[in-house]
Structure 1
Amino acid sequence: MSQGTNSQLLGVVLIVRHGDRQGFYQNPQTYTATATQITPLGSQQEFMLGSYLRSLYLNQTSPSYITGMSTGMFNQSQVYIQADLGGEDGVIYDSCVSLTQGLWPVTLSNNITLANGSTITAPLGGYQYVPIESVDPNLSVSLEGFTSCNTFNTHTAAFYNSSTFQEMAAQSAPFLDSLPPYLDGRSVQLQNMWNIYDFMNVNDIHNATFANALPSTYLAQVQTLANWHEYNVFSDQAIGGIGNIAGLTFLPTILNGFADIANSTNPLKLSITAIAYKPFLSLFNMTGVASANPSLAGIVDYASAVALELRQPSGGGEPVIRFNFKNGSDATFVTYNFLNRTGDVPLSAFIDAMAPVAVNTTAAWCSVCANTQDRGCAALALATAQGEADARPKISPAGAGVLGAGLTLAVVIMMGITLAFLGLLTIGKFGRRRSRHHNAFELKDGESI
């Protein structure tokens, strides 16, 4: 790290990309994706990252030790961990498991003494089972704000139709036209640049025949184009622009993490979120890190991490934030200036810049993304419509009596059909089904329906 340590580290909001995985396909227009799987290399990358983070933040001899942090057994009151369960299927969650193995490795201290005096150590030499909250994109928009977002799709289409894109397409056409021998039939259009890069990168890592046949400069050229493509899709000139939606929905996680760490009555000291690469692009754009460091205006490597450290200056005053980034296999974190400032940034300045544009609720996301059907928006739209209907003038008592009888019968019939369809009502015999979930439908950020 390039800055001094003349401050007390209160806690860290950690953002981590998954490790190496098998290839997969993303729709260039909507970014819906196919499933894939993590590889042993990916698991090892995450474990090594976790070990590095442990040596940095959970080691009392480290200058960056988090004050008061438990250095042995995992202390759940001090840590919150969540992982995206969508997008790349279980890859992100599985990566996060390996990350926690490095942060809290096996220990013989993970044991219990029974009433008969025998001591039992946890399996695998004292494996620590660290709880991770899996975030389902169907129930929360926080980690994948870009999927099913109609206005974001419009933004992407506008980029593809822009003169800037057309100029790059023309400029890169000779190179792209040379790629078919290495793409197994995949489209070489610039719109498909992410899939071109991912296919070649995965095979360059795992297929020796492919790696030996690929010209030495091709992968770097493909990555440069993919970086340009993805940064323009997942960024925006305005901090609150729809191109930043992947970051706008993620901001509440960051802000809540800082609020919890800064609260002296809250024991939380480490907030960890495992995600795909998209929110990194938006975050780098919104904070100005990418504009000041053009090399970061692109896809972060596997097992990359941003560590937003909340520090208390030795001279007193409000806490400050330090922006650290480790790009995959980079040996250590590098500290970057952000928000057009030099050095650590006051927490209040970060809040003032980010809180006004944060997308805090599913309802806000539905509005921003112009969606009335997906990811809970249909239920919210129905609730709004019912509320508006309740506010309308009521019909006369006489009319209500005539209408009510017919509506009651219709409602009873429809309820029976619906319950039978859901398996909650058995027609013809008595039956009862116990739900596997406490709530039939739950939205993130405290909204429930």
Structure 2
Amino acid sequence: MLPKLLLASLTAATTTVSAEQVLGVYIFHRHGDRTSKAWPPVNLTPLGAQQVASSASFYRARYISSSSSSSSSSDNTNTNTSIAGISADAAVLSQLSITAPVDNVLQNSAAVFAQALYPPSKAAGSQKLANGTTVEAPLGGYQYIPVNAVTSSASSAGSESSAWLQGSSGCSDAVVSSNSYFLTPEYLDTLNRTHGFYQDLLPVINSTFNASTATFKNGYSIFDYINVATIHNASIPSSNLLTNSTLKSLYDLASTHEWNLAYNASEPPRAIAGSVLAGQILTALEAIADGDKPTAPRLNVQFGAYGAFMAFFGLAQLPAASEDFYGICDYASSMALELVAPSADRTSPDDLSVRFLWSNGTAAEHGLKEYPLFGQSQTTLSWNDFKAGISKFAVADTQGWCKVCGNTDGTCAANATDASSPASQQSSDKGSSGISRPVAGVIGALVTLAVILGLEALVLLLGGLRLVKKSTLAGGAGAGAAGETAAKA
């Protein structure tokens, strides 16, 4: 009996279950493997769909299954990671928000993710009618989870069909800022220094690139083209040139190229994709933390492009935690931000905390690792500290986006406001007498009309003119007088 009791006590001491409770999660996810951007249309591949599905299964096990837990090797504890109150088997749409831009690769990735997150369920897919007939839903109980379209700089439409990072952002100042990179000494030095490197690869890429385009300026496009080929092509022209060292250089150069287009510490507009993503994260988690929106989704999943990851990483100072954040993330990479309460009965904003977790590649293969945000040393931040840190660069509404981007047309024209306070804005809409401009305009029009009528009356009086009915004129005038005016002397 004693050994059994001792074993039980040791087990209890080494493996504990934390009372911690996950209240909500925001996941930003890259698409799975796809075809090359050099040969549109770009499509999600079966491999890519499998990568995304496996990632969704991982997140299902972590956040949705009733027995969800994660183990920490540092303190030998098992922590319950299931989201409080989330449905385990049947998808409750009010608890979920799954979004992707209008883009074939990203929309399809999100659709695959949704189905692996909540697989077909026969229990949710059958119905007994009044006449006693049982109807089975099609596709084995397929659960209809909508993927809502988003249009923002974080996930712009057609982003996977464009090789230019800011090509579809719509942010004027971001495009100008990114283009300015091509004028920097750093870029020009790399362009000249690597010219021979890219020219030597022409035997591999000459079906798509020529001597004038095989340069660092197309560093990402060339990397993407070769990367796709190494995954899918059984044979590659002059493949002997693609040594491990060469492939690493292609990746490093492409990462340098895209990092500098996505982020610059001194030019906030360049990282607009990360700012918008930060605003979306803050808005979603704030609705849960403040508790003023009890129907707010508990699990938010957005699919987007690698450039948004880079922009967010730069703004959140993640390269200070690891230089790996400088690189282009792999297919099906994902980051998750968890809003956590210390226990189920302590859920006030002052008690909450936020964790940032990251997987470079599908989480099913690599798992999630915690990293500190905003240059901090701890990986868990209080909700108030997290909110203060992310608010420094988050863009959460159209007015803020227009201000950062410098756009004045379209939606921004309708949202343009004076930078002054509401009171001074109201004052500027009034004259010195306190009359509003619309009312003053009406009064002015009436005064002008009165003046015109008065002048006409004066002319008639001084000129001895009189008004004659048109019918009177018609009766008294002959054919030769048909062209005379109504006002006669």
What is the TM-score normalised by the length of structure 1?
0.78
| 1:343 to 2:379 alignment | yes
CA distance in 1, matches of 2:64, 2:120: 15
Which amino acid is the alignment partner of residue 271 of structure 2? N
CA contact (8 A) 1:285 1:291 kept: no
| 1:153 to 2:175 alignment | yes
Residue 76 of structure 1 corresponds to: 93
Residue 5 of structure 2 corresponds to: none
From the superposition, tell whether residues 236 and 5 of structure 1 become closer, same or farther in structure 2 (CA, over 3 Å).
Answer: farther
CA distance in 2, matches of 1:180, 1:353: 46
Tell me by how many angstroms 1:266 deviates.
1.5
Residue 51 of structure 1 corresponds to: 57
Residue 443 of structure 1 corresponds to: none
SS of the aligned residue for 1:257 comes to: helix
Describe how 1:149-228 pairs up with structure 2 within 5 A.
149-183=171-205, 184-186=207-209, 187-210=213-236, 213=239, 215-217=242-244, 218-228=246-256
CA contact (8 A) 1:56 1:62 kept: yes
From the superposition, tell whether residues 177 and 74 of structure 1 become closer, same or farther in structure 2 (CA, over 3 Å).
Answer: same
| 1:118 to 2:146 alignment | no
CA distance in 1, matches of 2:334, 2:137: 30
Q: Deviations over 1:123-157 (max 9, x none)?
A: 1111111122112x3xx555339522221122112
SS of the aligned residue for 2:67 comes to: coil
Q: Deviations over 1:151-202 (max 9, x none)?
A: 1122112211111112222332231221212222421221211111111112
Describe how 1:257-406 pairs up with structure 2 within 5 A.
257-264=284-291, 266-267=294-295, 268-314=297-343, 317-329=350-362, 330-341=365-376, 342-373=378-409, 376-380=411-415, 391=437, 394=441, 395-397=444-446, 399=448
CA contact (8 A) 1:205 1:211 kept: no
| 1:41 to 2:74 alignment | no
Tell me by how many angstroms 1:323 deviates.
0.7
The two structures, once aligned, show a CA RMSD in angstroms of 3.0
SS of the aligned residue for 1:208 comes to: coil
Residue 281 of structure 2 corresponds to: 254
From the superposition, tell whether residues 295 and 400 of structure 1 become closer, same or farther in structure 2 (CA, over 3 Å).
Answer: farther
From the superposition, tell whether residues 228 and 6 of structure 1 become closer, same or farther in structure 2 (CA, over 3 Å).
Answer: farther
- Aligned pairs, how many? 383
CA distance in 2, matches of 1:401, 1:133: 57
Higher relative contact order structure (alpha carbons within 8 Å, sequence separation ≥ 6)? 1
Residue 407 of structure 1 corresponds to: none
**Stretches of structure 1 lacking an aligned partner (at least 5 in a row):** 27-33, 404-449
Moved more, 212-221 or 5-14: 212-221
CA distance in 2, matches of 1:102, 1:44: 10
CA distance in 2, matches of 1:272, 1:204: 30
CA distance in 2, matches of 1:179, 1:159: 25
CA contact (8 A) 1:109 1:121 kept: no
| 1:7 to 2:20 alignment | yes
CA contact (8 A) 1:143 1:249 kept: no
From the superposition, tell whether residues 277 and 131 of structure 1 become closer, same or farther in structure 2 (CA, over 3 Å).
Answer: same
CA contact (8 A) 2:154 2:304 kept: no
From the superposition, tell whether residues 283 and 382 of structure 1 become closer, same or farther in structure 2 (CA, over 3 Å).
Answer: closer
| 1:17 to 2:30 alignment | yes
CA distance in 1, matches of 2:406, 2:437: 24
CA distance in 1, matches of 2:450, 2:381: 66
SS of the aligned residue for 2:265 comes to: coil
Which amino acid is the alignment partner of residue 359 of structure 1? V
From the superposition, tell whether residues 322 and 373 of structure 1 become closer, same or farther in structure 2 (CA, over 3 Å).
Answer: same
Residue 430 of structure 1 corresponds to: none
Moved more, 17-26 or 266-275: 17-26
CA contact (8 A) 2:320 2:375 kept: no
From the superposition, tell whether residues 263 and 78 of structure 1 become closer, same or farther in structure 2 (CA, over 3 Å).
Answer: farther
- Structure 1 or 2, whichever has the larger Rg, is 2
CA contact (8 A) 2:203 2:237 kept: no
What is the TM-score normalised by the length of structure 2?
0.72
From the superposition, tell whether residues 221 and 310 of structure 1 become closer, same or farther in structure 2 (CA, over 3 Å).
Answer: same
CA distance in 1, matches of 2:451, 2:272: 50
CA contact (8 A) 2:203 2:238 kept: no
Aligned residues with identical type, % of pairs:
30
CA distance in 2, matches of 1:164, 1:227: 14
